[in-house]
Structures are given as C-alpha cells and as structure tokens.
Structure 1
Amino acid sequence: MRPADGDGHMPEAQDTVGYSYRDGIVRIAVDHPPVNALARPVREGLHAALDRAAAEDGAQAVLLVGTARGFPAGEDLAELDAPLSGPSVADLCARIEAFGIPVIAALHGTVMGGGLELALAAHYRIALTSTRVGLPQVRLGLVPGAGATQRVPRMIGARAALEMMLGGGAYPVDRAPARGLVDVLADVDLNAAAEGYIRELLASGNGPRRTSELRDGFADPGAYQQDIARFREALANRPEIAPREILAAVEAAMLLPFEAGLALERDAFETCLGSEQSRALRAGFRAEHAAQGLGLPAGTALPDLSCIAVLGGGGLAAQLAFALLRAGVRVQWGTQDPDQLRAGVPKLRDAFEAGVVRGALTEDEAEECMALLRVGDGAAMTDGAQMILHAAPGQWNVPVPEGAVRAIAFAGEVEGLGLRFAPPVHATRLLEVIAGPSVTAGELAASRALARRLGRIAVRVSSSGESAAARLVAVCQRAADALVDLGQDPYDLDRALRDWGWTRPPFVARDLAGLAGHAQAPRADGAMNWSRLLRDAGRSGRAAGQGVYDWQSGSPREDDEVAALIDSARPRSAPLPPETIRGGLFGAMANAGARMLSEGMLSTPSEVDLVAVQALDLPRWRGGPMHLAGVEGLLRLRRTMETFDHPDRTLWTPESVFADLIKNGRNFDALNG
C-alpha cells in the first residue's frame, strides 16, 4: 500500500493500463508510477481490459504485467478512509480467478499487498529471481482483504502463510517462505520467458488452474493444525487485533469452503479497518512516508554517498562506522588521537563477530564490511568522501573535498546541518535531520540520501541544535516526576502505562539510560528531581544493579526501599486512575508537541508522533501523543490537564491551539493536511 499521490492527481484509466493482442495472447500492462499502486483508475482500467480480453476473438491466454519498477503494488492507502469507488481488488481477484482462459501473472520488482493478491488470483505465476513479495497489511493493523488468507495457505501451508502475513516483510520469491507461490523463475528477460511459458502451457493443453481449488498446503492436516496451535500460543499475550484475525482466517482456510473463507476474511478486514489500532498504524505509516521528503521539492536529485568520513573517537564514532559499514558504505574513520583508533577498530571487529554469532550475517559478509574501512589522521580521511560526519568536537578545520557535506552528529550547536541518531545507532530507525539557520538544500538532500542508504526514518527538525526527541523525552520524564511530586507511586505510574501496552514506561526507561543524566535535568522551583534523590542514595540505574527498580535479578523488580525513600520526601496521595495517569503524561507531551509546532521546530502533528513513537518506544498500534489526544478527545484531555496543580506550569497549561481545535470540533490529526 502507499499514500495518495502528493498532488492528488487521479490519472484516467486509459493512461494507467495498456492493452495489446498478438498471436492469441492478450497482454495487460499496468503503468501507474511510481509503484504501480492499485488506485481506482488502475482497478477500473484492469476491469475494462478484462472485459475486452473476454470478448477478444481467438484469445487463448492473458498475461498480466507491470511496467517500470514492477508488478502492481498494493492499494492506495488514502482510499481506505473513504467509501470504495469502482471495483475493489477483491472484485478483480474474483474476476481473474473465474476467467475462462488461462491468466498468467509475470512478476518483477517488489510485489506487496493487493498486488500480490492479484497475482495469487491468476492461474499461473512466473517471476524474475530478484522479485520480492509480501503481505504487509498487518503493519497497518489490517488483514489481507482480497483472498490471501485463503489462497496462500492452499499453496504453501499454514506455517509459511503465517510467517509471511504476521511478519509483513518482503521475501525473496526464490526462497522460503514465498517460494511455493510462483510456478517458474526467470533469470533475465521476463517478457520473453513469460511468452515462452505461455506457449508451453497452451501446447500441453493446460487451461485455467484456480488457486481456490489447490490443496497442496493441506496435504498434512495434522501438521497444519499444529502450526496453527503454535502461532496461537505465540500470539496469546499480544494486544494487537490484526494478527489474531489473520490466524483465525488462515485456520478457516482448511475448515471452510473457499467462499465462506473469503466472507470471514472480509468481515475481519472491516473489523480491523474500523479499529483504533489500525487508525494509529495507518497514521504512523503516512507520517513516515511524508517525513522522508525533508521539505525538499519532489524529484530533488540525491547525491551518491559511497564514501563517508567519520571524524572523532569514542562510542558514537564507532557506532556510526558500524552502521555505515553494515550498509555497504566505505568509511574513512579519522581522529587526532591514534590510541582511539587502536581501541576502536577491535571493538568494530568484535561487533561484526557478534553479528555472525547471532546469525545476522555470515563470516564472509562481516569481512566484506570490515574491508570497507580505512583509518588514519582526520585530515587525510576526508579525501574522496562525499559526506563528513563529525562524531565529536574538534577537527572542524580539516579540509573538505569540493561538494562534500559536513554534518554534526553529536549534541551541540548547529549552524548548518546536524544529524541525531537515536541510540543505539545500528539498531534504531529514527534519524533527526537538524536544519540549522543556514542549512542548504544540498545538505538536506545528502541527509535524505544517507537516511535512505541506512534504512532510517528521517525527520526534519528546524533548530540550532536542539533535538525534538530529546525535548519529548525530557517532557515525559518531567511529567513523570511531577506526578510523583503530587503523591503518586512511580511503580503505579509505570504499571498503568505497561498495562496499556508501553513496554518501556518512563521509570524503566530512566533506569535503562542511567540516572546520572536525568539527575542533572532542571526542575521547576518547588518540583523534585527524583533521579537526583535516588542517585545520591547510591542507586544510579540498571548498570549499577539498582535505580528506581532493583535489577540484580536481571529484570526490573519493585523495591520497598525506593517507595520508602520517596514517601519520606513527600506525602503519598490516593492512587490516580490509570486513565488519569495516562492523560497527565500524554497531555504534557501533546502540549510540548503543540509548542514545537508553534515554534516551527516540526511541521506537522504527525511528525511529533513519529518522533515520539520512535524515541520513546511507544506502541505503534497506539500512536503518538498528538494522535492520542484526538482519541481521548481534546476537551476531555484539556480538563484532565487542568486538574493538575503543580509548580511546573508549562507542563499542563494548554497551548492556545487546544482551544482553537476544540472550538471547531477538530483534533491534531486534522492539521496534518
């Protein structure tokens, strides 16, 4: 699936679907850049082309292909929020499967969602070996809605089907779990291979082979049910709706007639589509897609970043080098202190060896990554680099090749371009692109190219160095401390949020990061810094075995000593209801988000949510604080915020935008455009 085209243009059906007929073969080609999404004009064009093929005198077979980047991809995401117009993908799948002559789908590129469902409804499939396929609907809180839950299990069984649908990734078509979905693989020249394959089918007298009639995946009913049971056990404690609905539909595939299974799938799709979980996940998907542009004009050329210089020693430099090498980028690591390199390079090698042990890469791949590394003096390491990442202060006077882009990757003042990677750099997805007062379009383009190369979600943050993630984390922790000031138990706070689905609530997160940094954070006059109190009592976080929690067993355990220490510094009050605790915490973050928007630090509420979800590890199926404010209801949330009487007034004094939105019956989602 993909968001709607940015300009809202809806091309006519005849512009998107080509039709040709030669020697008994009808060729129907979808041409709807950039990804051949199955938007309404494409679906209408396919429907009309199938009508024409059915009436074509002498037609013996139909070949479905995609031009340009690949076979048709999923539906247009924007259409999920509006009444369906034109034939649905499910309608097209039913039409194709019932077609009177063989329909062959020729696949290349990345074939996802509804595009794959369309191919599965065809009678035969041929694909380039480089093709990747997937059913990512679960990532949007949805069930496949055009027959995949019924067709895929018939072809490859329950285990492989559930791996694909619950994983939601893109899988190589020549390997498990996707291998059984394609009849023939072609190395080169897909069109010629497809035509040859069709000629062989016709010569052998093979007619339509309907997927609904296949039973290969049901060959061992006992194993099928065992796989269902294993996945059900794995999903038992997960709060998401869509995975359970997918499991039920795959189970029904073997138990119900095909048409009944399709009806069950459709009901599950509609249930998920209307859920708050899916709304949050779809909003998050749209936010990620919109943020990637970094405010640059469409079609902006991106530079080649095949060689990047990392300047500075220490942990950040090593993490940056590891992430870049893992992405296949040549890294030139330079410092003014050779001892830092002598200590850092072995740590890099250890990190790659650990990846081999985990099975994340092979020994050969690890060696290939390390072979991309050069080290030396900083001034020499910038030669030939297209981008220079400053991972520590200093070395600003080293020469830079003409056209190369400099970026500050550590926390500090930014005049031009800064980059903030959420730690740990190699494992997190968020990349804040700090656009300083004099940032250029070329610097932003380089940042976008870097994010794409590393597979990161890039968000533009207009500031002189302040990180949006750091501000949101700070506000979250201030609000948590403020609630403790007001007599709440920190364990009750974390429990209310953990039960809601947040696996890393504020005080657990504080321990994981260590209390030292939080102990230095400012608090309003009359407010306590509880991290400072605990640090002074010898409890500095998980690394020390004790922080807010006792970690000596390896997992966080509540500690009566902490409760007594806090209660000695302020009176405890009656526990607040969990919904009030959540309203206080997320209301403070939404208020901070509104402030960032008014300052121009971020552009849309969805960007605030995107940063919050990534930086604070909020559950994606819940959404970020701006979206949650709308779910709660802005009037109700404002009333909750106004109940907190605390010295830190800026936390819960609603920004003026709350009143404006409430007056007009809108929420923050309406400001996303």
Structure 2
Amino acid sequence: MDSKQTVSVISADIQHGVAILTMDNPPVNALGFQVRKGLQSHIVDALENDGVRAIVITSRLALFSGGADIAEFKTGTEAPMLPDVLQTIESASKPVIAVLSGAAFGGGLEVALACHYRITFKGNKVGLPEVNLGILPGAGGTQRLPRLVGVTKALDMIVSGKPKPVESLNGLFDLIVDDPASLDSATQHFVAELLSENRGPRPCSSLPVSIPHDEKEVFETYRAGIKKQARGFFAPEMCIQAVEASTLLPLSEGLQKEASLFMSCMKTPQARAQQHFFFAERAASHVNDYAKETPIREIKKVAVIGAGTMGGGIAMNFANAGIPVILLELKDEALQKGLGKIRENYEATARKGRLSAEDVELRMSAIHGTTEYADITDADLVIEAVFEQMAIKQQVFKTLDEVCKPGAILATNTSTLDINEIAKSTNRPQDVIGMHFFSPANVMKLLEVVKADKTASDVIKTAMMLAKRINKVAVLVGVCFGFVGNRMIEPYSREANRLLLEGATPEQIDKVLYDFGFPMGPFTMGDMAGLDIGYYVRQERQEDIAHDPSYCVVADKLVEMGRVGLKSGRGAYRYEEGNRQPINDPDVLTIAKEQAEALGIRQRTISDQEIIERCLFPLINEGAKILEEGIAAKSSDIDVIYVYGYGFPVYRGGPMQYADEIGLDKIYNAMVDYQTTLGEHGKTWFVPSTLLKKLAESGATFASLTPTSK
C-alpha cells in the first residue's frame, strides 16, 4: 500500500516499491540542517522498509540544489553533516537514483555523485563552484567526480568552479532525456528496468579512477596552466591535491584527505575574504532608499549621448539585453566611427566563438544611430556619456530637459563631477541620477548608481533593477568628488606618484602592487587608460590640490610632453609599435629626479612594505571617510566596487575587508607614523579619519558598522 509523509522540507512518497524523496526548500534547495536531517531520516526509513526496493532523490523545484547553506559557515553546522548523509547514500543496500530536475551545484551535485545512478535532461548544467568561496568540495566531490568522469574533466570542473553542460560529462549520467517534461516517465521506466534486471547499488567506492598515461605529468601540467589566474589564491592548489589523492587512495581514505584539505582552506584569510565577498555582492542590492512596494519605471527604449568608447560600450549592454538603443552623436563621422567600433567588438567576440553571426546582427539591429535630439524624445532612459567637463554636461542636460518626454530618467555617466550641479541644469532634478559605468563598459560588471539630493526613490529603484537586466552588479552611492571608486583611487594614485618623486621607480611600485594581487600597478594602469584623463581631472580640481606643488607633478610633466601612455607610445613606460608590453624608460627617472630637486625632496631607497602602506592605507582611510559621510551605506559596498571596478584581489575581499583582516589598529598606527615622518606631505595627506581612529581604539571592524542611508 502506498503512503505519504513529510518531514521538514523533504517529502517521501512510496510508489510501487520505490521511495521518492523530494526536496522542496525554496528558493534553491539549500542543503541546510532541515534538508540534511530530512534526507537522512527518509533514507534510513526506506532502507528499513522491506517494501521499498529502490530510492529516488529529486526536487520539486526547477533546480535540483544550489548546494550548501552558506549562512551556516557563519553560524556553524549542526549534525547530520552532509558528508555523513552522503555516506549513508553511498553505502545504501538498495539502489539510490538521483533525478536532476534542474541545475545541481556544490553540495547539490555531491548528493547526486553519492547516489548510485543519475538521470537528467539535455541542456542542464552542473558544477562545483566551491573554489570561488576559497574552499574545495567537502562532501566527496573531489573523490567521486574523478571516478565518474576521469581526472582531466574533474580537475577542470573543480579548479575552475565553472558549471558544465551535462552532455559534456561522459560517465556521470546514466540517462539524459530530451527535456524536463520527460523526466518522470523516463525515471519510472529506468527504475523498473533496473529492478527487473536485479541491478543493485553501484557505489563510487567500487569504481576505478580513469588516469591518463602519466598522472604526475597531468597534475604538473595543469598546475602550470593555471598559474597566472590562480596567483594569490589558496584553494586551487588544495583542489588539485584533493583530486590527486583520488588517484592514489581508496575512496574512504580519499574522503579523509579531502576533509583535511577542506579544513586547511577554511582557516585561511583567502576563504574568509572570498566568503565575505560572496555575501557582500548580494548585500549590495539591499538598500534603504526605497520601500519594497516602490514601483519602477518601465524601460523599453534607451538613448545614449556620445558614441565614443564609453558611449558605445554602454549601448552594447542594452542591446545585449534586447533593449533598443538610440546612439546620438552630433557629427555623423563620429557616429559612424562609433557604430563601426561596436560592430568590430561584436565580431571579435564572434571570432572567439562566444556569439554566432546571427547574434551579431541581432544585437547590431537593436542599436540605431542619430545626429538629432528629436529622435530620442520617446526614450525612457537617456544616458549621457560625453566629455568629462561640467559645462559640456550641463549643456547636454539642458537640452535633454527640453526634448525628453515627462518621466524619462536622465542619467549621467560622469566619473567625478557633481551630479547635483548637473541636475540643476534641468527642471526635473528628481529624474536625474548617476549611472557610472566602468571601462570597457561592455565588459566590466560594476555599475555605480549615484543618487543626487533630489533623485526620486522610484528612479533609484529602477536603476538598481535595470542593472540586473543588463548583467551588472550595481552599488548605490552618494554624491561627492569621484563618488566611491574614483575618490578612493585618488590617494592611491597620488601616493604612487609621490613615491616616484621620493626615489621609487615605476616598475618597483607596479611590481609590489601586482604581487599584492592587482592585475596591474598604477603606472601601467595609467598608461593603458591614458595619462591625459587624470590630467584633465586635475585641471578641474586645481582649487583642491594647488596647495601641494608636488601633486602628481611627474604625471603632469609627462602629459605636457605628449607622453600620454600606450596610445602615444610613451607614458610612464615606453612601448613598441603594436605591443602593449611596457618597457622601462630611464628618461622618466630623470624627470622625477629633476622635479624632486626643484621641490627640495630628497630621494632615497623605498621599501616594498612602505609602497604597500603608502598606497593602500590612505585609500582605506578615504573609505572610512566615505562611510562617515554616508556616501556608501556599508563597508562591503566599497569592497564590491573595488573588486569589480578596480581589480582589487577578491582573495583579499576588497580594501575594507583587507583592513579588517590585518587589523584597523595597524592601519591607524601607520597613518599616524607617516603623518609625522613625511613632513608637510604627511601632515597634509596622512590624517586618520575620525572613524578609523574610533574603530582602531575600540578594536572594532568596518564590517561591524550598522548600514547607513543618506
């Protein structure tokens, strides 16, 4: 007789001798305590029930399981632990079949791996993304997956953390049906056949590991291949060692080795940083500036003003999301050049196999060019991306105010200018907002959404929600010079330039910061972006920096000599035609020495540690001021901006998490020390913020602060 009962978020339905255990823990079937307890309880019941001949584990959701409940990393995990539940499955005396109704990630895939048979549908994806949290699969993934798909594919999945289509994983699934709708009937047929043929359990412990001809060479080759992208991370090497163990040890011993390596990962600052960032990215969308019920404005059509590199990149984001875009440039020659560059970008992506020729044409068809403001009157959102000068932007917004329909959102892509002043150029300041994209705008994930004093709450919410549609990570910030990202990068760049005057070389400074984890140092970054960009910003800020005659004086000199970076063949470095590799240029050291002598600055040997402290600690101190002023609501928002916008290493969690990790007292004491040892420069630029001082003295952290709203 069939029966049905429910324990927590797992239902058990016994049909014709088959116990069907169905997970139902929205939104992602996270394997928290209740799910683990339910699975364990029902599996034991099914094994003890003489009327049950097989067990099926599936999901009521359109997703099998997203994996572990990450919140338990902070609160602690209660027994039964997932490895124990999976051991119960693995050692079951009756066949256990996993039926994947959708994607399975992390612990979700490990549940399926512990089962004896697996069924899913074409187009489904599975993955083990734990490396992105600074850890490795800790419930048998590193030991069972190699036994099912071989060492090479297992390494690729586990070390990259990237999901894979099920069709590419030969050996993992016993049956792959055409579509999800076919799963139920296919499962019934599969189980009936399994039982009629008396096929019993098939645990991974009975399976050999498929080893290439020279296993040592495979692992060493793999290590060499990921060396660059894995630099600074701890978990990738532990993942490799765990998979390596699967080739040397029986499953039971391999699981013990995996558990040991897992705990090694969990104790590292990298794991703390990466898990912090996991939560930080999700927390960025939780803001206090609008109510949950606040409506959003419908965005069906977007206009972008300016067809340069930034404007074209912004337009691509909307075309990629299927939102029609009007690209406006006043001169047809500039417009055609911009449209040509967009096509060039899409075709380059197609050549890499990431887009089809049809995709290129579809996206290009979503972008239309114009030289007339009259053609954008029906746009729901207009994003200005013209030259970074206040007078020019104010004129654009004055025109937009005249031509755009009521209710249209008017956004500026300014990276430093006062949006309140821009908004005053219109009669609708409530509709004005900052949408600061990062270059290249079609690639970089970050979007700083900048609320001005009079920006309406529904405009803020619309911008934040729209970011998700165009695959951006949005962080809401307030108005000040440079907002969060560029305001904080200013002391970083300033100190790098000052260190050059004091005797460090561009290559030394760049190497120290590259070794810290940045993709490139400040001088390489400046050359790539163009030194003229910073020069024009400094020209706009003369009132703020004129009191320091040493302020970026070498960078200014280089620009005035026509050395604006890669595009001119010379900047802080020199470049050969067609080659982006920087070459050291002794002329720059001569210029720095001459400028230092003129300013009375004595050059000396600068230690690597001083470079780290001088460049990063003022940046962190500026972040503290930003929190004090309410420009950013929480320190984790700053971390998201710096990881996604400026290449701050995710394995350090962002600048504020890094500061918390090493101790705010260390930051504060160093700031005080440099304030006294660097003379007038120290007195001017190394004053600790009130917040940094308060937290350092109390032993608190940035993360402990209550989120603010301004």
Above 0.5 in TM-score?
yes
2:152 aligns with 159
> Map of 1:321-470 to 2, 5 A cutoff?
321-335=315-329, 337-376=331-370, 377-381=372-376, 383=378, 386-392=380-386, 393=393, 394=396, 395-397=399-401, 405-411=409-415, 412=417, 413=419, 414=423, 415=429, 416-463=432-479, 466-470=482-486
Query: Letter of the aligned partner of 1:203 in structure 2?
Result: S
What is the CA distance between 1:179 and its match in structure 2?
4.9
Change (3 A) 1:464 1:583: closer
1:181 aligns with 172
**Unaligned segments of structure 2, at least 5 residues:** 1-5, 387-392, 424-428
What is the CA distance between 1:104 and its match in structure 2?
1.3
Greater shift after overlay, 421-430 or 373-382? 373-382
For residue 664 of structure 2, the aligned residue among 634, 645, 664 is 634
Change (3 A) 1:386 1:127: farther
Change (3 A) 1:465 1:236: closer
Is the Cα–Cα contact under 8 Å of residues 7 and 38 in structure 2 kept in the other structure? yes
What is the CA distance between 1:378 and its match in structure 2?
4.1
Is the Cα–Cα contact under 8 Å of residues 668 and 696 in structure 2 kept in the other structure? no
In the alignment, structure 1 residue 75 sits paired with structure 2 residue 68: yes
Change (3 A) 1:488 1:87: same
2:53 aligns with 60
Query: Letter of the aligned partner of 2:572 in structure 1?
Result: V
Q: Distance in 2 between matches of 1:399 and 1:255?
A: 72
> Map of 1:136-535 to 2, 5 A cutoff?
136-174=129-167, 176=168, 178-186=169-177, 187-189=179-181, 190-215=183-208, 218=210, 220-222=211-213, 224-236=215-227, 238-295=231-288, 305=299, 307-335=301-329, 337-376=331-370, 377-381=372-376, 383=378, 386-392=380-386, 393=393, 394=396, 395-397=399-401, 405-411=409-415, 412=417, 413=419, 414=423, 415=429, 416-463=432-479, 466-520=482-536, 521=538, 522=542, 523=545, 524-529=547-552, 530-535=554-559
Q: Residue 97 of structure 2: SS of its match in structure 1?
A: strand
Q: Distance in 2 between matches of 1:396 and 1:169?
A: 44
1:607 aligns with 637
Percentage identity across paired residues of the two chains: 30
In the alignment, structure 1 residue 595 sits paired with structure 2 residue 625: yes
Change (3 A) 1:439 1:29: farther
Q: Distance in 2 between matches of 1:37 and 1:83?
A: 15
Q: Deviations over 1:66-103 (max 9, x none)?
A: 22341121112222234432222211211111112111
Is the Cα–Cα contact under 8 Å of residues 20 and 58 in structure 2 kept in the other structure? yes
Change (3 A) 1:273 1:447: same
Is the Cα–Cα contact under 8 Å of residues 472 and 612 in structure 1 kept in the other structure? no
Q: Deviations over 1:371-415 (max 9, x none)?
A: 3333444433454x5543333442514655676544323445254
Query: Letter of the aligned partner of 1:661 in structure 2?
Result: L
Q: Distance in 1 between matches of 2:301 and 2:218?
A: 46
Query: Letter of the aligned partner of 1:229 in structure 2?
Result: E
RMSD of equivalent CA atoms = 2.6
Q: Distance in 2 between matches of 1:551 and 1:337?
A: 32
What is the CA distance between 1:277 and its match in structure 2?
1.1
What is the CA distance between 1:649 and its match in structure 2?
4.3
Q: Distance in 1 between matches of 2:275 and 2:688?
A: 27
2:688 aligns with 654
Q: Distance in 2 between matches of 1:305 and 1:204?
A: 58
What is the CA distance between 1:672 and its match in structure 2?
6.7
What is the CA distance between 1:146 and its match in structure 2?
0.8
What is the count of residue pairs matched by the alignment? Answer: 656
What is the CA distance between 1:579 and its match in structure 2?
2.3
What is the CA distance between 1:137 and its match in structure 2?
0.9
Q: Distance in 2 between matches of 1:596 and 1:499?
A: 27
Q: Distance in 1 between matches of 2:643 and 2:204?
A: 40
For residue 561 of structure 1, the aligned residue among 571, 583, 587 is 587
Q: Residue 502 of structure 1: SS of its match in structure 2?
A: coil
What is the CA distance between 1:270 and its match in structure 2?
0.7
Is the Cα–Cα contact under 8 Å of residues 89 and 146 in structure 1 kept in the other structure? yes
What is the CA distance between 1:205 and its match in structure 2?
1.9
Is the Cα–Cα contact under 8 Å of residues 332 and 382 in structure 1 kept in the other structure? no
What is the CA distance between 1:467 and its match in structure 2?
2.9
Q: Distance in 1 between matches of 2:603 and 2:487?
A: 29
Provide the TM-score with structure 1 as the length reference: 0.91
Q: Distance in 2 between matches of 1:86 and 1:349?
A: 56
What is the CA distance between 1:493 and its match in structure 2?
2.3
Q: Residue 34 of structure 1: SS of its match in structure 2?
A: coil
2:570 aligns with 546
What is the CA distance between 1:244 and its match in structure 2?
0.9
Q: Distance in 2 between matches of 1:444 and 1:32?
A: 32
What is the CA distance between 1:299 and its match in structure 2?
8.1
Q: Distance in 1 between matches of 2:45 and 2:380?
A: 53
Q: Distance in 2 between matches of 1:672 and 1:490?
A: 40
Q: Distance in 1 between matches of 2:207 and 2:701?
A: 49
What is the CA distance between 1:335 and its match in structure 2?
4.8
What is the CA distance between 1:291 and its match in structure 2?
0.5
Q: Distance in 2 between matches of 1:233 and 1:331?
A: 44
Q: Distance in 1 between matches of 2:237 and 2:613?
A: 29
Q: Distance in 2 between matches of 1:466 and 1:208?
A: 62
Q: Distance in 2 between matches of 1:506 and 1:599?
A: 27
